Amino acid sequence: MKNDNLIIAFTEKTGKILPRIFCRRFRHCCVLFPSEKNEFILVQIGIDGVRLIPVGARELRRLEHAGWVLVGAGFARPHDLGGQTPPLQFLTCVGFAKRATGINNPFIWTPDQLYRKLKRKNHD
């Protein structure tokens, strides 16, 4: 069974200085794309570039046990964007997650703001 939804993983832990100053709760996020093997590919954006990490069910449970919060989100589909290309964004964890989910709100800059947006979207 192939999963067609994304998971956005949020954490309070980061080694970066600016998120510690500007972010209240969540300070980093990662996008987990479904793969064909009933697992996910975690895409981590960092100073050293982009890393792709395979993540199975066991690793998802370990992330949750380590304090990560997992939120389901849908893919950005062309019809969701009105046929337009999503706006360019900085290559940050939040910018990448917004692009993957099709969120075009220019005022979402921090992982905490993205978390609140996704939680509201999931309740609608």
pLDDT digits (tens, 9 = 90+) for 56-76: 889 999 989 988 999 988 776
The number of distinct structural domains making up the chain is 1
- pLDDT score recorded for residue 109: 86
Q: Which three-class secondary structure string do you get for the chain?
A: CCCCCEEEEEECCCCCHHHHHHCCCCCEEEEEEECCCCCEEEEEEECCEEEEEEECHHHHHHHHHCCCEEEEECCCCHHHHCCCCCCCCCCCHHHHHHHHHCCCCCCCCCHHHHHHHHHHHHHC
| More confident position, 33 or 45 | 33
Domain-located, residue 1: no
- pLDDT score recorded for residue 2: 38
In this model, does residue 89 exceed pLDDT 50? yes
Domain-located, residue 60: yes
What is this structure's pTM?
0.77
Domain-located, residue 36: yes
Tell me what the mean pLDDT of segment 36-62 comes to. 84
| More confident position, 45 or 18 | 45
72 Cα distance to chain centroid: 9
What range does the domain containing 10 cover? 6-123
Domain-located, residue 47: yes
Reported as a pLDDT band with limits 50, 70 and 90, residue 14 is low
Domain-located, residue 119: yes
- pLDDT score recorded for residue 105: 85
Reported as a pLDDT band with limits 50, 70 and 90, residue 1 is very low
